[in-house]
């Protein structure tokens, strides 16, 4: 019943999905943390920039962000991000798009995490003479990160599912292979769909369960 | 005067001076990036009037491309929420059933459709309709897009409904029992009406997600939505890809910000009204999805 699978590299396609997810997750975590820092900083212009960036980028469809990377950045402005072949270029463009988009959700999760830290923590730190950077780095962020593991897990799971959008610019990940297979194996499209759906369930479910448990363990008891 | 944030005090003279330095440095960095963008755009001839002008002077670009596309986007999003709401409510209530054989299958269905990416749902729905039904190929993308959005968002809304009902105090159910109401009556006459008010903000926020996801149909199935107008416009107006994408993105941004603002207003309103005994259900943000 599943012999149609041998002709396709399903595992290879899911490996690309995993790679897209990992690189984008790392990038979004970095850029998202910087954005969150801007949104809570004492400098009004940085706060304004952070707020504007989040409210603009978050409200653009991800599809448009990803297409803008390929059609706008690469094909119109010829920015190839140092990718040699078209495959690596598209992969890097997709990762850049995911980072730009996902970082807004990382930023919002972190900001809500910062808000859960009691005022007394920051006040005590300031009373000890720590400055803004030190308060953020040594007192507030460590506590905030512990309480945002749950929300960040949701962001990671969403990102895993969102990587399918990379197929619209030709990155050979799981959903691109699935479209190809549903066209070639039209007699078993139900099976093809179930294989790919289960692939995503397998990718997201353990991550959700594991990190969910970690979130409970790490949460600061107050 | 209280500090604007937990992180720092009201700035004193020294902090004010330091903030001013940071402001200048940050503005310089921003200006640098902006200059680089403008220079790159100009170098590739993307800032000419013939590329941006049509959006301000030529009504045709709006009437032939943007408005019909926007209409399709709104139609798909509207149909999706209208169908997903009752379906989601049904599954949310089924998940709260006292019977294991109802609760577990309903939960499995909900969790399955939350875990599957909308894009592969769309691709599958499109292929499925083309194989097994004789839906006119003009309408097939719309039907496939709406199907996928209903399945995914129905599952998300089921969780919203469940959270909304669970946020009501146990006393509501107990009081209903005490006056002799059946389980169905309790649900329809006591719990659901109260839960709906507390869910409204979350439902409106979900609309933002639906609206953004319609663009997937434009990219993957050739659904003639707002997103899918980018190529035809660029083909007709001197390859003004950047200009077109900017305008299309702006339309999405304005629409979604209006919806987000509406959700915030509804949240405030239902908090003040106090006709419901439940807490206001937090919007499930994008993607399955958090906040």
B36's tokens:
């680089």
Q: What is the pLDDT of residue B2?
A: 43
What is the span of the domain harbouring residue B25? 11-44
Asked if residue B237 belongs to a domain, the reply is yes
Judge if B23 and B75 occupy the same domain.
no
Query: B287: nearest CA in chain A?
Result: A158
ipTM: 0.89
pLDDT digit string, tens, across residues A46-56: 999 999 999 99
Q: Are residues B116 and B248 in the same domain?
A: yes
Q: Is the pLDDT of residue A221 over 80?
A: no
**Global confidence as pTM:** 0.90
Mean pLDDT of B98-109: 93
Q: Judge: A197–B260 Cβ closer than 8 Å, yes or no.
A: no
- Per-residue confidence (pLDDT) for residue A214, from 0 to 100: 86
Residues B31 and B57 in one domain: no
Cα–Cα distance measured from residue B243 to residue B241, given in angstroms and rounded to the nearest whole number: 6
pLDDT at position A3 over 60: yes
A186 sits in which H/E element: none
pLDDT at B250: 95
Q: What pLDDT, on the 0 to 100 scale, is given for residue B289? A: 40
Calculate how close chain B gets to A171, using CA atoms only, in Å. Answer: 13
Residue of B nearest to A180 (CA): B123
Q: Considering only CB atoms, which chain A residues are within 8 Å of B215?
A: 61-64
Q: B28 and B172, same structural domain?
A: no
* pLDDT(A220) > 80: no
**Structural domain includes residue B26:** yes
Count of domains in chain A? 1
Residue A42 or B9, more confident = A42
Distance from CA of B175 to the nearest CA of A (A): 33
Given a cut of 50, whether residue B1 has pLDDT beyond it is no
Question: Is residue B32 over pLDDT 80?
Answer: yes
Whether residues B84 and B216 fall in one domain: yes
CB B277 within 8 A of CB B194: yes
Tell me: do B212 and B261 sit in the same domain. Answer: yes
CATH of the domain at A136: 1.10.3720.10
B128 and B230, same domain (yes or no): yes
Structurally, chain B folds into a number of domains equal to 2
> Is B102 found in the same domain as B33?
no
pLDDT, tens only, B178-199 = 999 999 999 999 998 888 888 8
Look at residue B5 and tell me if it is in a domain: no
Inter-residue long-range contacts of A6-13, CB under 8 Å, 24+ positions, other chains counted: A8/A177, A8/A180, A8/A181, A9/A177, A10/A174, A10/A177, A10/A195, A10/A196, A10/A199, A13/A172, A13/A173, A13/A174, A13/A176, A13/A177
Q: Is residue B195 part of a domain?
A: yes
Same domain for B172 and B54: yes
B239 phi/psi in degrees, rounded to 5: 50, 45
Residue-wise pLDDT tens digits, A67-101: 999 988 888 888 877 777 888 999 999 999 999 99
In a domain, B4, yes or no: no
Are the beta carbons of A168 and B117 separated by less than 8 Å?
no
A120-145 per-position pLDDT tens digit: 888 898 899 888 788 888 988 888 88
Q: Do B32 and B168 belong to one domain? A: no
Is the confidence at residue B9, as pLDDT, over 80? no
pLDDT digits over B236-291, tens only? 888 788 889 999 999 999 999 999 999 889 888 877 876 666 666 766 554 444 33
A91-96: which pairs have CB atoms within 8 A and are 24 or more residues apart?
Answer: A91/A16, A91/A19, A91/A20, A91/A166, A91/A171, A93/A66, A93/A69, A93/A169, A94/A20, A94/A66, A94/A69, A94/A163, A94/A166, A94/A169, A94/A171, A95/A20, A95/A23, A95/A24, A95/A27, A96/A27, A96/A69
Three-state secondary-structure class, residue A101: helix
pLDDT (0 to 100) of residue B200? 86
Question: Domain containing A76: what range?
Answer: 3-218
> Tens digit of pLDDT for each residue in B205-239?
899 999 999 999 999 998 999 999 998 998 888 87
Distance from CA of A70 to the nearest CA of B (A): 11
Section B100-126 average pLDDT = 93
Segment A182-191, tens digit of pLDDT: 888 878 888 9
Nearest CA in chain B to A113: B291
> Would the CB atoms of A45 and B119 count as touching at under 8 Å?
no
pLDDT of residue B288: 41
Q: What is the per-residue pLDDT across A200-213, written as a single tens digit (0 to 9) for each?
A: 999 988 888 888 88
* Same domain for B119 and B85: yes
- Check whether residue B23 and residue B137 sit in a common domain: no
What six digits make up the tokens of A159? 């990102």
Smallest Cβ distance to B30: which of A49, A68, A76? A49
Measure A138 CA to nearest chain B CA, in Å: 12
Query: Average pLDDT over chain A, rounded to whole?
Result: 89
Task: Using the predicted structure, report yes or no on whether residue A1 has a pLDDT greater than 80.
Answer: no
- Does B6 fall in a domain? no
Determine contact: B208 vs chain A, CB below 8 A: yes
Model pLDDT, residue B282: 65
Task: Calculate what percentage of chain A has a pLDDT beyond 90.
Answer: 47
Q: Which residue of B has its CA nearest to A204?
A: B115
Judge whether B127 and A189 are in contact, CB under 8 Å: yes
Domain-located, residue B83: yes
Q: What percent of chain B has pLDDT over 70?
A: 92
């Amino acid at each position: 019943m599943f012999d149609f699978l041998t002709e396709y590299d399903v595992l290879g396609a899911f490996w690309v999905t995993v790679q897209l997810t990992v690189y984008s997750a790392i990038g979004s975590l970095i850029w998202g943390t910087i954005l969150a820092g801007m949104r809570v900083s004492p400098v009004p212009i940085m706060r304004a920039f952070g707020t504007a960036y989040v409210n603009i980028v978050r409200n653009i469809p991800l599809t448009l962000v990803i297409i803008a990377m390929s059609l706008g950045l690469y094909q119109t402005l010829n920015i190839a991000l140092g990718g040699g072949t078209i495959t690596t270029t598209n992969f890097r463009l997709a990762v850049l798009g995911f980072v730009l988009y996902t970082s807004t959700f990382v930023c919002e999760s972190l900001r809500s995490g910062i808000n859960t830290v009691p005022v007394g923590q920051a006040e005590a730190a300031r009373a000890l003479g720590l400055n803004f950077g030190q308060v953020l780095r040594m007192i507030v962020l460590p506590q905030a990160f512990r309480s945002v593991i749950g929300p960040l897990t949701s962001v990671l799971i969403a990102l895993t599912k969102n990587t399918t959008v990379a197929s619209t610019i030709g990155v050979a990940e799981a959903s691109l292979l699935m479209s190809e297979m549903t066209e070639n194996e039209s007699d078993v499209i139900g099976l093809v769909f179930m294989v790919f759906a289960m692939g995503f369930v397998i990718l997201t479910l353990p991550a959700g369960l594991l990190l969910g448990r970690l979130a409970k363990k790490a949460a600061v008891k107050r | 005067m209280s500090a604007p944030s937990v992180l720092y005090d009201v700035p004193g003279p020294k902090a004010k001076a330091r903030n001013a330095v940071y402001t200048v440095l940050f503005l310089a960095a921003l200006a640098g990036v902006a200059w680089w963008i403008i220079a790159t755009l100009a170098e590739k001839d993307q800032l000419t009037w013939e590329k941006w002008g049509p959006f301000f002077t030529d009504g045709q670009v709006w009437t032939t491309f943007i408005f019909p596309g926007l209409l399709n986007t709104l139609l798909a999003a509207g149909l999706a929420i209208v169908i997903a709401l009752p379906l989601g409510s049904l599954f949310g209530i089924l998940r709260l059933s006292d019977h294991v054989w109802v609760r577990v299958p309903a939960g499995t269905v909900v969790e399955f459709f939350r875990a599957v990416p909308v894009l592969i749902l769309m691709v599958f729905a499109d292929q499925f309709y083309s194989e097994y039904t004789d839906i006119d190929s003009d309408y097939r993308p719309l039907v496939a897009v709406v199907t996928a959005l209903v399945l995914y968002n129905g599952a998300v809304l089921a969780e919203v409904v469940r959270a909304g009902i669970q946020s009501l105090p146990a006393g509501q159910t107990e009081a209903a029992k005490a006056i002799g109401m059946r389980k169905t009556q309790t649900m329809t006459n006591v719990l659901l009406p109260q839960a709906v008010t507390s869910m409204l903000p979350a439902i409106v926020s979900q609309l933002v997600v639906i609206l953004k996801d319609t663009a997937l149909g434009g990219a993957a199935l050739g659904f003639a939505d707002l997103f899918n107008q980018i190529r035809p416009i660029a083909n007709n107006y001197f390859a003004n890809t950047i200009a077109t994408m900017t305008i299309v993105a702006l339309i999405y941004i304005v629409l979604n910000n209006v919806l987000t603002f509406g959700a915030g207003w509804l949240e405030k309103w239902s908090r003040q009204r106090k006709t419901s005994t439940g807490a206001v259900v937090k919007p499930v943000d994008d993607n399955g999805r958090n906040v």
